[in-house]
Amino acid sequence: MRQPLLFVAAAIFAAPVSSAPPTLTLDLGGGVSLDMILVKGGVFRQGSLPGEAGRGEDETSREVTLSSDYYIGRYEVTVAQWARFAADAGYRSEAERGTSGGFGWDGRTLTQAPRFSWRSPGYRSGARHPVTIVTHDDALAFARWLSRRAGRSVTLPTEAQWERAARGGTQTRFHGGDADGVAMETGWYRSNAPDGPREVGQKQPNAFGLHDTSGNVYEWCLDWYGPYAAGPARDPLQGRSDLSDKPRRVLRGGSWLKDARALRSAARYRNTPGSRNADNGFRVVASVEAKAPPPAAAKGAPARRRGVEAEGSGGPTGSGLVLLSLLGALCGGVSLLAVFLLLRRRRGRLRTRIAEDGFTLLVPGARVGQRLHYRCRVGGRVKTGQITITGDPSEGVFVYTGDRPAAVELLSAAAATTVASSPRALASLDRPARPEPEEPFRGYPSAY
């Protein structure tokens, strides 16, 4: 009896201790709220074992430790919740801002047309339906708005947080068991929802009380898509965008367009960040700790709603040499003298917009397809990374860091692989996600 008792005692002391309530309701205003459920941190097994039916080659099983508790949405974000955000923030989704529209349901397949957006996805959609035709950046914009409103950090779940929550403490194919018939009881997919998603919360919840983690719509995660790193992982978040055929973000949970195998807890999916499909939605996570309110601004000081902008030669800690490197890449190899003259003209126009959970890079002369290399300091640690400009360069590119960065530095900008030479050309690069034919993908199946 001694060994089991010791094991239980060790497990108790190793488990994260939290006094947070088991549920949380965030007030979105206008009579709209968002219900969340507490998920305890701890150790779980991510991925699937080789013998699992329907298993994908990218589901390598590994032990994952989540060091903190977190709240996650009981349901996928709904049309009503998104509409409240859009009205309060004056936000227009990428499908609405672009000229090409989203990929909506035409009765047979997903088709791109200007008429398709979250307001009109092509199927019957009411207040309690999950919002769709939203991009990864759209979802992050919602989370940042809710962070400010709720007074706590709100963002998209990491892939590990999502799977931990979706499993509900199980290791079976679906959170309700292994048999194929379980999918019919727990989720909406091609066999029982062939013409669009259904209102949230109609199927059986998992053991944690979460609904629709199997089917209905795919859900965006924070991670870039790539193979799992070998060995155990602690709070994993894939920050590299170059581990697949092109930069893609992770989607999880299956959808009304897919077969039952896509509803498995370990099943992985991915798409380009600018995809705006009628089967892509999201749910959010929130920190257990509420943030302290920011100090009151000095009398007469201008208020800034969307973070703090710092102007300079290369960000708050940039140097002249760093800026020369950046501008040299942007100019495609012009002489050092020309770069210096350009520096003189544009000095003070490079900006970084600092937010509570990341920063936005705004680079004069940047082009779609350019890869920006950056360095930042977050929580006393220096991080480096890269991100590709896929949207309108004039709006900048957001880098998620999870907490407020203390300093940001631009290191370099690789040459653009695609150049938009006119507004019409830019609109054509409006990041649609047309269903792709089967293609080799480093051993993994095609996105569509």
Q: What is the pLDDT of residues 42-71, one digit of tens each?
A: 999 999 999 999 999 999 999 999 999 999
Question: In the prediction, which pLDDT does 400 show?
Answer: 64
Does the global pTM surpass 0.85? no
Beta bridge mates, 188: 215
Q: pLDDT per residue over 258-278, tens digit each?
A: 999 999 999 999 999 999 999
Mean pLDDT over each residue of the chain, to the nearest integer:
80
Confidence of residue 6 (pLDDT cuts 50, 70, 90): very low
Q: pLDDT per residue over 168-199, tens digit each?
A: 999 999 999 999 899 999 999 999 999 999 99
Question: In the prediction, which pLDDT does 397 show?
Answer: 74
Q: What is the distance of C-alpha 203 from the center of its chain?
A: 25
Between 280 and 381, residue with greater pLDDT: 280
Question: In the prediction, which pLDDT does 351 show?
Answer: 79
Confidence of residue 415 (pLDDT cuts 50, 70, 90): low
Pairing mode, if any, of strands 308-312 and 285-290? unpaired
Confidence of residue 357 (pLDDT cuts 50, 70, 90): low
Between 77 and 310, residue with greater pLDDT: 77
Question: In the prediction, which pLDDT does 376 show?
Answer: 87
Question: In the prediction, which pLDDT does 291 show?
Answer: 79
Question: In the prediction, which pLDDT does 435 show?
Answer: 37
Of 410, 127, 137, 178, the closest CA to residue 282 belongs to 137
Question: In the prediction, which pLDDT does 358 show?
Answer: 74
Q: pLDDT per residue over 17-47, tens digit each?
A: 568 999 999 999 999 999 999 999 999 999 9
DSSP track, 346-398: HTT-EEEEEETTEEEEE-TT--TT-EEEEEEEETTEEEEEEEE--S-GGG-EE
Query: d(Cα 119, Cα 421) in Å, to the nearest integer?
Result: 31
CB 212 within 8 Å of CB 218 = no
Give, in order, the Cα–Cα distances in Å from 93 to each of 164, 385, 430.
Answer: 29, 27, 12
- For the chain, the domains span 21-290, 308-428
Q: pLDDT per residue over 157-173, tens digit each?
A: 999 999 999 999 999 99
Confidence of residue 294 (pLDDT cuts 50, 70, 90): low
Asked whether the predicted pLDDT for residue 227 surpasses 90, the reply is yes
Question: In the prediction, which pLDDT does 60 show?
Answer: 97
Asked whether the predicted pLDDT for residue 13 surpasses 50, the reply is no
Architecture of domain 21-290 in this structure: Alpha-Beta Complex (3.90)
